Amino acid sequence: MARLGQSRRGSLVEALVNLLVGVCVAFAGNALVLPLVGLSISASQNLRITAAFTALSLVRSYALRRAFNWWEMKK
C-alpha cells in the first residue's frame, strides 16, 4: 500500500526551507523597498524587523494550521 502524505521529517524540512526562504525574501525586500519610501535602515535594524515579522508569520501559520485541522476533525 502506498504511503499518502508527507513524512514528519519531510514536513520539518519543508517548514525549515520555507522559513529560510521567507527570511531571505523579507530581508532583501526590506533592503529594497524601505529606502524607496524614505526609510533608511541598517543591516542590524533590517535583521530585527525581519525577525519580528518572521515570528508573527510563524504564529499566524501555526494558528491557521491548527484551526483548519480542528475544522477538518469536526466534520
> From residue 45, how far is each of 34, 51, 61, 66 by CA, in Å?
12, 10, 24, 32
Q: What is the number of residues in the chain?
A: 75
Any idea where the domains of the chain sit in the sequence? 12-74
**pLDDT above 70 (res 75):** yes
The rounded distance, in Å, linking the Cα atoms of 9 and 4 is 14
Mean pLDDT of 32-56: 95
pTM for the whole thing? 0.73
User: Dihedral angle at the C-alpha atoms of 53, 54, 60, 63, nearest 10 degrees?
Assistant: -150
pLDDT of 47 reads 96
